[in-house]
Structure 1
Amino acid sequence: MIKLLIAEDDKSVCEMLQLFFQNEDFQVTFIHDGLAVRKHLNQQEWDLIILDWMLPFVDGITLCKEIRASMQTPVILLTARSEEKDRVMGLELGADDYVTKPFSPIELLARIKAVSRRYTHAGNKQESVSAAIKETIEHDRIYIDLASRKVSINDRTIDNLTKKEFDLFCLFVNHPKRVFTREQLLEKVWGYDYFGEERTVDVHIKRLRNKVSTPERPLVYTVWGIGYKLEES
C-alpha cells in the first residue's frame, strides 16, 4: 500500500480526492498547512508527497526544497501557476512532477502512479547494478561508489546529488563521449512510462552540471539539437 501525504489547504479538493482514492490502494493523509507538513515528515516514511504551492504558513516550494535537502521521497507540486518559469522553478527545486489546477483526479492518479513506477524502476535498477560484479565506476579521475552512492571528481567529494542527478551522472560516466538524446535519458533514468515533459531532463542536467563541473572541467556538455554527453571528443 502506497503511503501518500497530500498537503492542500482547499478542503473541498481534499474531500474530492479522498472519495476518489477510496477505491485505490493508497493510505492517504491530508494536511492543510505547511507547518503541519513539517511535523508529519518526521513521524513516518512516505512513499510520495503532494504539495500545494500556496500552503499557509510555509509554502509548498519551501517545503519541496527542505524535503530535497534531507530525503529522496518523490514530490508532486499542485499549483494554479501555469507559466513555464513557475514549472521550471518547481523542477529546479527537486519536484518530480507538476500538476496545474484545475485538474482531474484521474490525471493526478496517473501522475502519482507514473512517478511511483519511475522510483521503483530506478531503485530496482540501482540494486541490480550494485549487486553486479561492477560496484564502482571510474573514468578519468571520476570515481563513483554505487553501493554508497558517493561521487568523487579530482579528489573533490560531491555529496549533494539527488537520486535522479546521481543516476544521470552514472549513465554519462559509464558511457563517456556518447551522446544521449532527451528521449533516451527519459527512458533510461525515468523509465519507459514517464508521464511528463522532456523539459524535466534539461532542468536536471542544469542542476547536475552546476554541481559536478568546474570552470576548468565543464564535464556535462550540450550537443545542440541532439542531447547531452559527458565530455568533449
Structure 2
Amino acid sequence: MQGRKHIVVVDDEPGIRETIEEYLELHDFQVTAVGGGEELREVIDGQDVDLVLLDIRMPGEDGLSLARYLRESTKVGIIMLTAAGEVVDRIVGLEMGADDYLAKPVDLRELLARIKAVLRRAGHDGDPVAEDSSGPTRVVRFGEFTLNLDSHKLFEASGAEVPLTSMEFDLLKAFADHPNRVLTRDQLLNLAHNRDWEPFDRSIDIRIARIRRKIESDPAKPQVIKTVRGAGYIFSTAKA
C-alpha cells in the first residue's frame, strides 16, 4: 500500500477550505489548504501533489488561469468547483484541462467519490495500473501516435510523450477498443465509465476537441476521430 494521496484545496473562503480539509483528512488523505495561486505554486514547487481541488471564482488569479498553469507544468488531477448553473465556467475549465467539475455548494460525499474516480483513472489511487509482465504490452497505433493501454500514455512517433488527462485517456481507450465503429455520446459515457459527465452540456464534445488538437494534423479536418453527423463519432484506423 502506498502512502496517503496528497490533495491541495484552493479556495479563497476559509470556511470552505477548512470544511473540505477536515472531511478529506478523515478519509485518510493528506490535505494542504491554500487561499490562492501564490500559495498553490509554492506547494506544487516543493511537494508531490496528486490532485488539486480548484475554485474557479477567486479574487486575483482565478481558477481557470491556475488550471492552465497546472496542466502545462504538471500531471496532477484537477477538479474544478463552479457556481451552480455556470455552464460557461465548466466548459472553459474542461478546455483548460480539468478532469472533472463539481457545482457549489459541494456535497462532501459526492466530492469524495469524484476525487477517488479521478485518482483511480490516473493510476494514483494506491493501486496503480501494473504493467502486464506475462504478455506483450498492449498498444494501439494510429497515424503518427502510439497509445499504451497499460501505462496510460500516448507517444508521438519520435517517442515523445503527449500529455493526457485521465479523462482524455479514457475516451481514447474507448475509441481504440471499438475502431471503425460509430459510437454515440451515450455509448462513450458507458464505455469510458463516466456517467457523471452530463452529456446534455456536450462535455464529451469539448474533450474530443481537446484530444483532436493533440493528435490531428488539422483538427478542423480530423482524420482519426471523425464526426458522424447526427450519430456520434468514429475512430478511424485507416491510413490517411
Residues 33 and 54 (structure 1 numbering): CA distance in 2 closer, same or farther, change over 3 Å? Answer: same
**1:45 counterpart (42, 48, 64):** 48
Q: Do structure 1's residue 151 and structure 2's residue 156 form an aligned pair?
A: yes
Contact 1:51 1:78 in 2 (8 A): yes
Residues 174 and 126 (structure 1 numbering): CA distance in 2 closer, same or farther, change over 3 Å? Answer: farther
**Structure 1 runs not aligned, ≥5 long:** none
* CA-to-aligned-CA distance 1:109-162 (integer Å, 9 cap, x gap): 2322232233339997964479741454334x444162663133xx89783544
Distance, in Å, in 2 between the alignment partners of 1:188 and 1:28 is 32
Aligned length: 228
Give the aligned partner of residue 103 of structure 2.
100
TM-score, normalising length: structure 1: 0.79
**2:234 counterpart (211, 229, 233):** 229
Question: Match of 1:46, SS?
Answer: coil
Q: How does 1:120-199 map to 2 (within 5 A)?
A: 120=123, 127-128=130-131, 132-139=135-142, 141-144=143-146, 146=148, 149-152=154-157, 159-173=162-176, 175-189=178-192, 191=193, 194-198=195-199, 199=202
Which 10-residue stretch deviates more, 105-114 or 116-125?
A: 116-125
TM-score, normalising length: structure 2: 0.77
Give the aligned partner of residue 63 of structure 2.
60
Question: Match of 1:65, SS?
Answer: helix
Q: How does 1:6-85 map to 2 (within 5 A)?
A: 6-80=9-83, 82-85=85-88
Residues 129 and 149 (structure 1 numbering): CA distance in 2 closer, same or farther, change over 3 Å? Answer: farther
Give the aligned partner of residue 225 of structure 2.
220
Q: Give me the identity figure in percent.
A: 35
**Structure 2 runs not aligned, ≥5 long:** none
Contact 2:95 2:210 in 1 (8 A): yes
Contact 1:50 1:78 in 2 (8 A): yes
Distance, in Å, in 1 between the alignment partners of 2:236 and 2:217 is 13
Q: Do structure 1's residue 118 and structure 2's residue 127 form an aligned pair?
A: no
Cα RMSD for the two superposed structures = 3.3
Deviation of 1:209 (Å): 1.6
